[in-house]
Amino acid sequence: MTAPVLIGIDLGTSAVKVVAVDHDGAVVASARSEYATRRPEHEAAEQDPHHWWEALGAAGDAVAGMVSPRRWRAIGLSAMLPTLVELDAAFEPVGAAITWEDGRAERQADRLRAVVGDAELYRITGQRVDGRYLAPMHARLQELGNAGTTVAGAKDVLFHQLTGALLTDPSTAAGSAVFDLERGCWSAELVAASGLPDLPQVADSATALPLTQRWRQRWGVPGELPVVLGAADSVLGVLGVGARGHGEVGVIAGTSAVVLGISDRPIRDPAMRYLITPLAGSGWGLEMDLLAMGSAFDAVAALFGLDGPADLLEAAAAVALADAPLFLPYLSPGEQGALWDPSLTGTLQGLRLGMGVGHIGRALLTGIVVELRRCVDVLSAATGESGPVRLGGGSAVSPLMWQDIADATGREVWVDPAVTDHSAIGAALFAASATGSPIVRDDAPRIVSPRPERHGWWTECLVHHDDARLRARAKVNR
């Protein structure tokens, strides 16, 4: 009999990714299908959930054509977070989904923080709440008369689409701003303060229900197939790159960059520099998210007429670190890394005649690596560990980036350049464990060692970036 495979589905910011993983953890098939993000006004980021299901069907069809659905043992799910989907009484979407890139609900977030208090929100939820959480997003839509009767996240509706049941898992629920972290349920106090309507039932990440007949018929699945609820893309992404033990750090470089440290306890930070996210299974993720990474490389590459980030980073590799200008990489705008400030914007300083696209690319990469260094330092202090940085994601394709991160953090960087869809892989691995057949990946990563003589330069670089950021802030506040 042909060996079974596990299917992982990741509903990402720009595309749905579907992978098939065999019993050794090898990816034997993969496909992706993209969808558009509408930006009808400043700071808007909207998607049509119907486009998600069209893309899901296309990517699933492609994988079914490569690996017989008779071999499929289970499906695991992952999705972008936080992304709001308003539902009507029949659990059908009301209007567009509001993705995590949308920054229009800061006023509503300010109001929630004023009612509850930053420190109390962080104590209950483990989150530093801003306008990119579901509660303030919903409040904005409610004021516009565009709200539904149930508030859900992207993965909640993905699970509903495939099984007919609307459930959420703890890591996805954490993106709502009303989830009680340690009790593992919705906080009645915060739900009342935010004015949220109905919410999905919170279930264990390992919860599994059968794939509906509609999708079984489409993909040619011959019998009952369990769909595992799964977890947020950040949580399953770091599982996909192999970060599992206390103190290990995973970095998933995609449209944004997730920096997540594994902890055996929900350690709160007095300065609230990281979020606390329940993992799929036991343990906690100490999480920071750089809002612009792949999106920043894409934007700058497009500005200079390049084919994509690979061309930009190739040009950057020809420029010495010391010869580049200074780039504060807050292009979303705002930041949710170790610096939590929705008002931060990108700044480019020190341009001179004779500089070209390589200098700009080198400066942007340097600025992003500085922020990654800041995050990794905070996590090391919180967990008391300084192990390797496990790097993955579609934007982590440049050896220049790997070496920069190693030099800046003083840690080994472990990366498998042949694999990019780590959240989908993590979803498949978790589904294997949840259905009783755990998989241990032999990923044979490439190990990039830090150069100790470069670490001091990066420390000085961080100081220079901080000085530039504070000077820019002072000018704005005059």
- State the residue for tokens 């579907």: 18
CA-only gyration radius of the chain, Å: 21
Q: What is the pLDDT of residue 134?
A: 98
Q: What is the pLDDT of residue 416?
A: 83
DSSP designation for 310? H
User: Please, what is the end-to-end C-alpha distance for the chain in angstroms?
Assistant: 72
Q: Which residues have a Cβ under 8 Å from the Cβ of 242 and sit 6 or more positions away?
A: 250, 390, 414, 441, 443, 445
How much of the chain is in helix, strand and coil states, percent to nearest 5? 40, 20, 40
Angstrom distance (rounded) from CA 475 to CA 442: 52
The helix-helix angle for 118-125 and 106-116 (nearest 10°) equals 90
List own/partner pairs for 45-49 with CB under 8 A and 24 or more apart: 45/98, 45/99, 45/100, 45/101, 45/102, 45/103, 46/96, 46/97, 46/98, 46/99, 46/102, 47/83, 47/96, 47/97, 47/99, 48/96, 48/97, 49/85, 49/93, 49/96, 49/97, 49/157
Q: What is the pLDDT of residue 394?
A: 83
Task: Please report, in tens digits, the pLDDT of each residue of the chain (478 residues total).
Answer: 489 999 999 999 999 999 999 998 999 999 999 999 999 999 999 999 999 999 999 999 999 999 999 999 999 999 999 999 999 999 999 999 999 999 999 999 999 999 999 999 999 999 999 999 999 999 999 999 999 999 999 999 999 999 999 999 999 999 999 999 999 999 999 999 999 999 999 999 999 999 999 999 999 999 999 999 999 999 999 999 989 899 999 999 988 899 999 999 999 999 999 999 999 989 999 999 998 999 999 999 999 999 999 999 999 999 999 999 999 999 987 888 999 888 899 999 999 999 999 999 999 999 999 999 999 999 999 999 988 999 998 888 899 999 999 999 999 999 988 778 999 999 999 999 999 999 987 666 899 999 999 999 999 999 999 999 999 887 766 6
Domain boundary assignment for the chain: 5-235, 242-477
Cross-strand bridge partners of residue 18: 9, 31
- Listing DSSP states for 314-378 in one string gives HHHTTS-GGGS-EEE---SSSEESSSEETT---EEE---TT--HHHHHHHHHHHHHHHHHHHHHH
Angstrom distance (rounded) from CA 207 to CA 228: 6
Cross-strand bridge partners of residue 466: none
Q: What is the pLDDT of residue 465?
A: 96
Q: How far is CA 445 from CA 8, 30, 388, 417, in A?
A: 21, 20, 12, 8
Q: What is the pLDDT of residue 1?
A: 46
Cross-strand bridge partners of residue 414: 390, 447
- Nearest-5° Cα angle at 81, 92 to 217: 45
Angstrom distance (rounded) from CA 413 to CA 433: 27
**Per CATH, which fold does 242-477 belong to?**
Nucleotidyltransferase; domain 5 (3.30.420)
Angstrom distance (rounded) from CA 25 to CA 426: 10
Q: Strand, helix or coil at 290?
A: strand
Shared fold status for 5-235 and 242-477: yes
Query: Which amino acid, residue 39?
Result: R
Give residue 283's Cα distance to chain centre: 18
Whether the CB-CB separation of 423 and 474 falls below 8 Å is answered with no
The CATH class for the domain spanning 5-235 reads alpha beta
Written as six digits, the tokens of 263 are 């902890």
Q: What is the pLDDT of residue 444?
A: 65
- Give the side-chain half-sphere CA count within 13 A for 304: 22
Give residue 430's Cα distance to chain centre: 17
Pairing of strands 326-328, 284-290: unpaired
Nearest to 216 by CA among 225, 207, 206, 205: 225
pTM value is 0.90
Whether the CB-CB separation of 252 and 393 falls below 8 Å is answered with yes
Q: Which residues have a Cβ under 8 Å from the Cβ of 407 and sit 6 or more positions away?
A: 450, 451, 454, 455, 457, 458
Show the DSSP H helices in 106-232 as ranges. Answer: 106-116, 118-125, 134-144, 154-163, 170-173, 188-194, 213-219
Written as six digits, the tokens of 186 are 């919705």
